[in-house]
A and B are shown apart, each in its own frame.
Chain A
């Protein structure tokens, strides 16, 4: 998924945090891999979800 790698972090006034990976050459727009993700593992994750958990999720309005 290197099409999306960010440019290197720009230097700050002092020793910056370590750099992110370098961008791939030619950073113009390009189409991502459009194949379907492997559904099997994701379906396994989804089948483990408790169907009632949304009913239990009662939060306060925040901000």
Chain B
């Protein structure tokens, strides 16, 4: 899409099918990582400390220029930088397939399931799906400038949410309301544990509108300024309020609509009269609204439905963005289609919108088996929707039945496992990783951490790399491939 780089970061859960497992999820995560890097040689491990919780060997860059690593005990996959929705969806699914194939190669797929979701029902743990959008440094990153983005993000969950059974217990956290920070328990009028189903997994865990941290006080807009690119030219909008999507269609629509709204804001065309009175509360109220009316109170005292608010953003995007490229027109058409169907029977969205697919599946089962929503089976089915095992997962069942529309192909996904997008700097990084895998051992660059005091054989980061004994190689522009320059640089390494 025009002037946009996309990226997705996904944390996976590991479900161990044993009452008294011999090993922890983290132990299995280590096995999977080692299979990918040491046995399959899909990439090169970091040989340096990337942070206090990322010691050497914790993870590394892949030949597709993405990353796999352990983060807070979770396996995490970060896609390479992508310039198109087609690429980012294929790259995201490639991460799923890399991990699932490694699990099957290890002979562990009956013992362990990879779950691409964001919650567990037992401990209320949450883990993320983070979206990254590169914008111009001129993007109005102020409370006022971001107000339209907050409104859009609060209401987009009606087609981006993955849905869940129940809700999180009241968080031991603080919630912002009318510029006051108060305990979340102050809103304890709602018996959240009785909630049958809500449309978002993450809404219960978002307690601020703007904040810079990701592990506590999660915000609608994360304000950490870490562009991973030339800071004079670019800013990276980092969002952590979204759910992991199983549906390819929902993934593409989430990233595509958000990219267009960022463009509207950059160009001064976003609607300015839709500021939500209490965005954090509204986020949770929309998610938990059992009647799916999704009414929102605006600062203007007007009440609008989330569907109508999204319609206003769509109208602006049609007016200002239509015809700029084919992907934009695809997004505009599907955005309109989904909003139309959201005003009708949710069954029409099965296969396209994850919460609708999950709710339909669970309702079918509940009615057939005469179960209550509080039955443990309902929470187990909720998890199974996100199972990456094609023979077991419920989303994959919908795919098998031909009822979940595709926006990519199996062939593209397989290619994206070992191929970087060829129109971003990911391509140059992929060349580097491939070179280190092929030539590294001959140059004495095995994947062992360097002794203390010695520069490691290589250091790779998103926007720079350095091979020992050679000058650092900066890659500050994500829109450039750096391919020829990387090749020239690597020739000097061989010499």
Contacts and interface: CB of A to CB of B under 8 A. Distances in A.
Given A45-B394, A57-B13, A57-B15, A37 B351 contact: yes
A49 B404 CA distance: 21
B62 to A, nearest CB: 15
- The A interface, classified by DSSP as helix, strand, loop or mixed, is loop
Contacts of B215: 61, 63
Interface in A27-60: 27-32, 34, 36-39, 41-43, 45-46, 48-60
Interface string B115-141: 100001111011110100000000000
A13 B423 contact: yes
B327 A59 contact: no
Nearest to B121: A54
A57 B368 contact: no
A56 B84 CA distance: 38
Nearest to A39: B364
B330 A6 contact: yes
B302 interface: no
A60 B394 contact: no
A52 B375 CA distance: 10
B380 A61 contact: no
Interface size class of B (residues with CB under 8 A): 35 or more
A8 to B, nearest CB: 7
Contacts of A58: 120, 122-123, 125
Contacts, number: 217
Contacts of B115: 57
Nearest to B253: A4
Given A42-B397, A54-B383, A62 B128 contact: yes
B161 interface: no
Contact of A42 (B19, B336, B394, B409): B394
B121 A57 contact: yes
B461 interface: no
A43 B394 CA distance: 10
Contacts of B108: none
Interface string B79-122: 00001111101100000000000000000000000010000111
B74 A62 contact: yes
Interface of B: 11, 13-19, 25, 71-74, 76, 83-87, 89-90, 115, 120-123, 125-128, 130, 214-215, 218, 240, 249, 252, 325-327, 329-330, 333-334, 336-337, 340-341, 345, 347-348, 350-352, 361, 364-365, 368, 375-377, 379-384, 392, 394, 397-398, 400-409, 411-412, 415-416, 419, 421-424, 427, 481, 483
Interface of A: 1, 3-18, 20-21, 23, 27-32, 34, 36-39, 41-43, 45-46, 48-63
10 contacts: A4-B407, A10-B326, A15-B422, A29-B333, A37-B351, A42-B397, A49-B384, A51-B375, A57-B13, A63-B240
